Amino acid sequence: MDLSPATLKTTPGPQASESAEISLFEHPVIVEDPPGQRIPFVFSSPHSGRHYPASFIAASNLDALTLRRSEDSFVEQLFGAAVGRGAPLLHARFPRAYLDANREPYELDPAMFAEPLPPHVNTRSLRVAGGLGTIARVVSDATEIYREPLSYAEAEERIRRLYMPFHDTLQSLLERTLQRFGFAILIDCHSMPSVGGPTDEDRGADRPDIVLGDRYGTSCDGAITAEAERILQRLGYSVVRNNPYAGGFNTEHYGRPRSGLHALQIEINRALYMDEARLEPIPAFDRMRENMTAFIDELATCDWAALTPSIRGAAF
């Protein structure tokens, strides 16, 4: 079911729907694609999905609003102008609390499962230790999600039917962009709580308006990060690089500047556009969306020809 603000206002609680769960597995992602791609950008929002399977809600200790704490709520709307400017926008329909597409495919916490995990599973990453693996153990405030241990078969189904289609689609969009322009720039779009939470290094600290993550200069050409920073500062935002977010799996995995593939993560402070307690847009939402449109426009008008590698082609 869709737990958007309108749904939460009109419905006393989550209503189990098997058909909605089937629909999610059949249509896990949305691609908003322009009739013809005109700029060498791909925009992606892996964490803004808000379609919650009935079985997930039933298996959780948490109410609907608490489950949504991990969402990058409305981020796909903030960057919606990308499509009209000639760039595809990919966003997940599934929620981050159910499956996180910004992780390795198999980052899983063995304590969450009823049986031993296969050898190929990464059980020791820092993200798993924090409870935020591919299948999260906690929501963003460190509250435990599940009432009972999961079966590995359930995790495998989510990865196969949600994670893999998301990354197959993202890879296809980047390959198409690379072939058309000779290089491709992924803008991985996220939002962050205004104050660092219990699972974050900056616990209790107020955060800047925007954090740009380029894996400390390794996931994209420095000119991209510098230009993004300049534009956002001109728009009036405080901008920090790589702290506390340097970029997740997607930035690291797809960012290969020497092959013409560049990836930059952008984190927007949620207090700038939404009520973090009620998870609803505030009046300043329209201003933020307008500024993200200006951000896209200015990035698109830059001359990025120098990013084309001397030897084209990227090995995915």
* pLDDT given for residue 199 in this prediction: 64
Of 257, 199, 186, which Cα lies nearest the Cα of 228?
186
Q: Which residue has the tokens 């893999």?
A: 164
| Distance between CA atoms of residues 253 and 233, nearest Å | 28
| Distance between CA atoms of residues 13 and 3, nearest Å | 10
pLDDT in tens, 130-188: 999 999 999 977 889 999 999 999 999 999 999 999 999 999 999 999 999 999 999 99
Query: Contact, 289 vs 31, CB < 8 A?
Result: no
* pLDDT given for residue 16 in this prediction: 40
* pLDDT given for residue 308 in this prediction: 85
* pLDDT given for residue 283 in this prediction: 98
Low-confidence stretches of the chain (pLDDT beneath 70): 1-20, 197-200, 202-204, 310-316
Residue 110, preceding peptide bond in cis (omega within 30° of 0): no
Please determine, looking at this structure, whether the domain spanning 5-95+163-302 carries the CATH number 3.40.630.40: yes
Of 137, 104, 100, which Cα lies nearest the Cα of 121?
104
Query: Contact, 136 vs 100, CB < 8 A?
Result: yes
> Looking at the chain, how many residues does it have?
316
Percent of the chain scoring above 70 in pLDDT: 89
pTM of the model: 0.91
With a CB cutoff of 8 Å and minimum separation 6, the contacts of 162 are 24, 25, 28, 92, 94, 98, 99, 101
The gap between the terminal CA atoms of the chain, to the nearest Å, is 34
